[in-house]
Amino acid sequence: MLLLSSPPTLIFGGASIGDAYNTVSAVSDLLSTLQTLGIHRIDTAARYPSPRPGTSELLLGEVSAAKQGFAIDTKIIPLGDGSGSLAPQAVGRSLDGSYQRLKLGEDANVNVLYCHCPDPQTPLEEQAGGLDAQFRRGLFKQLGISNFSPEMLQDFLTICDRHGFIKPSVYQGQYNVLCRDVEKDLLPILRRHGIAFVAFSPLAGGFLTGRLTTGDVAGTRFSDGNVMGQYLRVQYDRHEMHTAVKALQDALKREGIGNVEACLRWICWHSALREGDGIILGASRLEQLNKNCEAVKRGPLPESIVQVMDALGNMEESS
């Protein structure tokens, strides 16, 4: 991988707004911290947070985040398994609801509007046409795609070219030192079309902290009863993944670097991300947010650690 001269854009993950930050006062303090850290973009969604959908947008509206200068990215709310979510009328309803909650208007609109997940029911041509119609209303600046397969994305782009519809300029997907499938098939498509990649889950939902590997899961997503933790266990709670984390921990001990710091520095400075891409940083505490940003500022990792971390991706690929 090429060593970057500056890290990709850091974006705050708004899934915790309405959950960890559940009052106007708490969100105001969060925005003040983000401004101090130089983070001016927030990623939210109509379904955030999952226990109370819409609350993230509502609180961001209450504190006038857009009018404070924050770029707000949001996502169309999925319906069930996604069927019908990207039908033109459903897109309009979702976007109008987001506008009301975020308190947007002529002086502020959505920065990136994402399709949160595929819609297996509505024909792609109808989806693309409906999204184009909303763009022509001036309701968002860029169209984003999330969780589409490379094949579906390519089909979507072909349709947009054929009809002159707005094309997606941002793709949001999972990416971290253990989850690197996007490097093979997706990123080449994005680079050919000039589409930025925004990475979520740079710490694998907390798995890369090593706490699940050591059995210390109290207060984490992997604790009993956490729905997101159940999903993450399916993906990461496997022998080869734990082996990778242990190998990383052994190497980091010799350098005196923590797991979280190493994984953030790797994705910012040594991964396949490029200038113009982004990384979503989530944090349930301001202290954690500050610490993560400080880690990024420490710059590139020692070459010995980079070699170990790159090998982790190869380990997962061969499993």
Catalytic center residues:
48
Output 242-247 pairs: Cβ under 8 A, ≥24 positions apart. Answer: 242/212, 242/213, 243/315, 244/178, 244/312, 244/315, 244/316, 245/207, 245/208, 245/210, 245/213, 246/213, 247/308, 247/311, 247/312, 247/315
For residue 168, give the nearest of 109, 106, 124, 120 by alpha carbon.
124
- The residues that bridge with 105 in the sheet, in sequence order, are 108
Helix (H/G/I), strand (E/B), else coil: 138: coil
d(CA 201, CA 289): 14
- The residues that bridge with 200 in the sheet, in sequence order, are 174
In degrees, rounded to 5, the angle at the alpha carbon of residue 190 between the alpha carbons of residues 185 and 191 is 105
Tokens describing residue 314: 């190869």
> Would you give the end-to-end CA distance of the chain in angstroms?
22
Q: How far is CA 237 from the centre of its chain?
A: 21
H or E element that contains 243: helix 239-255
d(CA 297, CA 305): 17
Helix (H/G/I), strand (E/B), else coil: 259: helix
DSSP letter string over 58-116? HHHHHTTTTTTT-EEEEEPPP-TTSTTTTSHHHHHHHHHHHHHHHT-BTTB-EEEEEE-
Alpha-carbon distance values, 140 to 68, 166, 244 (Å) = 18, 11, 41
- The residues that bridge with 74 in the sheet, in sequence order, are 113
